[in-house]
Amino acid sequence: MPTINQAVNSYESSVDDAINGFQQDVEELEEEGLSTVEILGIVAAVDFATYFVEELRFSTGINAFMATTEDILVDLPLFGNPSEVQLVALQNLQRQGIEGVTRQVSNAMQNAMVSGLSSGLRGDQLKDSMRSAVRTNMPRVENMVGTMLGDYRRAVIGAMAVDLPENTQYEYIGPDDEKTRPICRTYLSSDPLTLSEIRRVKSDGFEHAGGVNCRHYWSPIDV
């Protein structure tokens, strides 16, 4: 879905901004006359995840992710009666998840910075080293971000559907293109299915659809 793609792109953009900000902070320390050893000591000792979010303004990427959860709620067809407690709990899980992803990204940057400084890298070479380290992890990060948002969408639908009759039928919503998995094509080509029929095809098909980073979700019909 476009909103999920936008969240992933915004997150990636925030990573690049953080790398530039990190390099700028190192250059300022060098201008103050600190040696490489002293800078390494600072970089190694800092609570990097906190510095990453607060000082490098990476909260922008996290906030864009959380705003997408709000967009998902707005875009979903409303049915059932999920409680505010349920929705808040689901959003809190999303925040914990994206903060965990951010810690992984910040750790990769910190390790690349320490390794690069120790090897004598400076300026663009140092930034390239950090970008390379983050880029190695980025496909996994993209999958995690997309998966979390997709699972969130389906969890909200599940919360709304909990009181629906067992014979309620659901249709599979989402694209059919070159990225579509065989299991998703099976669901897309089928007639509307009940919850038990969905799970007969794939045991977690309602909650996780096609799997990692799946773009599809179920929507009840005639509700």
pLDDT at 4 over 90: no
pLDDT at 191 over 80: yes
Q: Which of 76-85, 142-151, 178-187 has the lowest mean pLDDT?
A: 76-85
Interaxial angle between packed helices 2-31 and 84-118, expressed in degrees from 0 to 180 and rounded to the nearest 10: 40
Name residue, tokens 């897309």: 188
Instruction: Report the pLDDT value the prediction gives residue 208, as an integer from 0 to 100.
Output: 95
18 vs 56: CA distance, rounded Å: 5
Most confident of 56-70, 98-112, 194-208: 194-208
Edge-to-edge order in the sheet of strand 217-220 = 193-194, 169-173, 217-220
Q: Averaged over 8-37, what is the pLDDT?
A: 86
pLDDT at 1 over 70: no
pLDDT at 52 over 80: no
In contact, 12 and 138? CB cutoff 8 Å: yes
pLDDT at 154 over 90: yes
Instruction: Report the pLDDT value the prediction gives residue 10, as an integer from 0 to 100.
Output: 82
DSSP state letters, 84-138: HHHHHHHHHHHHHHHHHHHHHHHHHHHHHHHHHHHTT--HHHHHHHHHHHHHHHH
pLDDT at 26 over 90: no
pLDDT tier, 223 (very low <50, low <70, confident <90, very high otherwise): low
pLDDT at 49 over 60: yes
11 vs 6: CA distance, rounded Å: 8
Q: Averaged over 40-63, what is the pLDDT?
A: 80
- The whole-model pTM stands at 0.80
- Which helix (H) or strand (E) segment holds residue 217: the answer is strand 217-220
130 vs 134: CA distance, rounded Å: 6
Q: Averaged over 42-59, what is the pLDDT?
A: 79
Q: In angstroms, how far is the first alpha carbon of the chain from the final one?
A: 23
Q: In the Cβ-directed half-sphere of 211, how many Cα atoms lie within 13 Å?
A: 8
Other C-beta atoms closer than 10 Å to the C-beta of 210 total 23
Give me the phi and psi of 194, to 5 degrees please. Answer: -80, 170
Instruction: Report the pLDDT value the prediction gives residue 210, as an integer from 0 to 100.
Output: 96
Kindly list the distances between the CA atom of residue 9 and the CA atoms of 137, 140, 141, in Å, as whole numbers in the listed order: 15, 14, 11
Measured on CA atoms in the order 155, 156, 160, 165, is the torsion positive or negative? negative
- Per domain, the residue ranges of the chain are 2-161, 169-220
pLDDT digits (tens, 9 = 90+) for 77-109: 778 778 888 889 999 999 999 988 888 888 888
Q: Closest by alpha carbon to 138, among 114, 171, 102?
A: 102
What one-character DSSP code corresponds to residue 213?
T
Residues 6+ apart with CB under 8 A from 90: 152, 155, 156, 159
pLDDT tier, 165 (very low <50, low <70, confident <90, very high otherwise): very high
